[in-house]
């Protein structure tokens, strides 16, 4: 099955990115034909600093490779290296109803919060549809917050196929919900916009500082605690074995287990879990040309697929003479 997903180069990779998306992407590459891209075109809606964007693009490429993305199994490339996508996006805009885009949550949320969205944010679902349809993607792994955009893609694909001819595969979404929403150090959803993240590749002293600042309640050492209502326990559970989770949960409920002890366990688990990935990340930092070569090779493969689709689209809409 052909799987496609993109990741925006919006900053440093944190635990929420890893458990919410990246871990799933890397698992899916084992038994599927996967295409994963760095969504730099999408990032332009919010990042207008060219040096920051360049750094972010390279960082997310190294992060994915370090965490296990295999360029021998997966087509890994940069969004902007496949210009056929923006051509298709324009063609799709000509059949996409305004009302469909006006109903999208991402746009409505900006309006509700008195934020003046740019056209890129308004038209984001059309570019996302082009991303998916140009490769005839069958499965699109997304979080629940992106489900509506997949529905928009399906609507656009069906409309195009009905107006012109059956060219596009109508994709299925794969909602990545095996893992609960990863809480940040303040208990909200872990997000760069909230400033509550634990970055995977930060220095160890920075990770320790973040872990030790995880917000907990004021229960005294000997008081019973509820693991199901504790964001520290939720983070600890991401790394712990069943025996470790049961041991800490029992310690919570009986009382006598302090949060400092659990924070120390969590810090050690984070460092141990990501140690081989951190070493691999350092390798890519010292071999950036290899990273660029991987992205170039991926773009060549992606372009070949995209060009084949666009030849059919151009013919179908009447602009190929």
Domain boundaries, the chain: 2-181+288-317, 202-282
Residues 14/190, Cβ–Cβ less than 8 Å:
yes
Catalytic site residues?
110, 189, 192
- Least-confidence region, from 76-80, 113-117, 244-248: 113-117
The pLDDT assigned to 130 comes to 97
Say which residue, 181 or 320, is predicted with more confidence.
Answer: 320
- Alpha helices, H only, 213-286: 231-239, 242-254, 259-285
Q: Which among 290, 301, 273, 271 is positioned nearest to 65, based on CA atoms? A: 290
Query: How many helical (H) and strand (E) elements, i.e. helices and strands, does the chain have?
Result: 14, 5
Segment 125-148, tens digit of pLDDT: 999 999 999 999 998 887 776 778
Which range among 185-189, 264-268, 287-291 shows the weakest confidence by mean pLDDT?
A: 185-189
In this predicted model, what pLDDT tens digit does every residue of 110-121 receive, in sequence order?
777 777 788 988
Band (37; pLDDT cuts 50, 70, 90): very high
Return the CATH architecture of domain 2-181+288-317.
3-Layer(aba) Sandwich (3.40)
What local confidence, expressed as pLDDT, does residue 148 receive? 81
Asked whether residue 305 carries a pLDDT value surpassing 90, the answer given is: yes
Residue 13: pLDDT above 80? yes
Percent of the chain with pLDDT over 90: 78
Cα–Cα distance measured from residue 242 to residue 3, given in angstroms and rounded to the nearest whole number: 31
Average pLDDT, the chain: 92
- The domain at 202-282 falls in which architecture? Orthogonal Bundle (1.10)
DSSP annotation of 19 reads I
Please compute the mean of the pLDDT values over residues 297-311 and round it to a whole number: 98
The answer, yes or no, to whether residue 28 has pLDDT greater than 70, is yes
Q: What is the pLDDT of residues 158-175, one digit of tens each?
A: 999 999 999 999 987 666
The pLDDT, as a whole number, for residue 316 is: 98
Give the 3-state secondary structure of residue 287: coil
DSSP codes of every residue in 131-167: HHHTTT-SEEEE-GGGHHHHHHHHHHHHHHHHHS-S-
Domain 2-181+288-317 and domain 202-282 have a common topology: no
* pLDDT tops 50 at residue 179: no
Specify the range with the lowest mean pLDDT, choosing from 29-33, 40-44, 134-138, 218-222: 218-222
Q: Given a cut of 60, is residue 295 above it in pLDDT?
A: yes
Q: Is the pLDDT of residue 191 over 90?
A: no
In our burial notation (b when 16+ CB lie closer than 10 A, e otherwise), range 14-34 reads bbbbbbbbbbbbbebbeebbb
**Over the stretch 90-102, which tens digit does the pLDDT of each residue have?**
999 999 999 999 8
Per-residue pLDDT at 176 exceeds 60: no
């Amino acid at each position: 099955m052909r799987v496609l997903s993109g990741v925006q180069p919006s900053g440093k990779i944190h635990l929420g990115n890893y458990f919410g998306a990246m871990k799933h992407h890397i698992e899916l590459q084992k038994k599927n034909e996967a295409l994963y891209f760095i969504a730099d075109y999408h990032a332009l809606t919010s990042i207008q600093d060219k040096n920051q964007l360049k750094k972010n693009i390279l960082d997310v490429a190294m992060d994915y490779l370090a965490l296990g993305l295999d360029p021998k199994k997966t087509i890994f490339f940069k969004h902007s290296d496949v210009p056929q996508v923006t051509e298709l996006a324009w063609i799709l805009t000509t059949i996409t109803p305004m009302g469909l885009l006006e109903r999208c949550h991402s746009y409505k949320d900006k309006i509700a919060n008195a934020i003046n969205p740019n056209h890129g944010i308004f038209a984001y679902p059309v570019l996302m549809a082009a991303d998916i349809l140009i490769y005839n993607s069958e499965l699109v792994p997304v979080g629940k917050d992106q489900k509506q955009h997949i529905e928009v893609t399906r609507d656009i694909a069906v409309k195009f196929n009905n107006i012109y001819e059956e060219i596009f595969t109508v994709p299925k979404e794969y909602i990545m919900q095996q893992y609960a929403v990863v809480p940040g150090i303040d208990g909200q959803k872990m997000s760069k916009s909230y400033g509550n993240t634990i970055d995977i590749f930060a220095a160890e002293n920075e990770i320790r500082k973040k872990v030790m600042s995880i917000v907990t309640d004021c229960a005294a050492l000997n008081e019973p605690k509820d693991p199901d209502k504790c964001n520290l326990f939720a983070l600890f559970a991401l790394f712990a074995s069943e025996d470790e989770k049961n041991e800490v949960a029992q310690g919570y409920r009986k009382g006598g287990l302090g949060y400092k002890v659990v924070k120390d366990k969590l810090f050690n688990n984070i460092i141990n879990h990501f140690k081989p990935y951190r070493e691999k990340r350092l390798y890519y930092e010292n071999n950036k040309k290899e990273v660029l070569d991987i992205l170039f090779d991926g773009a060549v493969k992606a372009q070949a697929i995209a060009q084949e689709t666009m030849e059919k689209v151009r013919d179908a809409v009447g602009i190929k003479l």
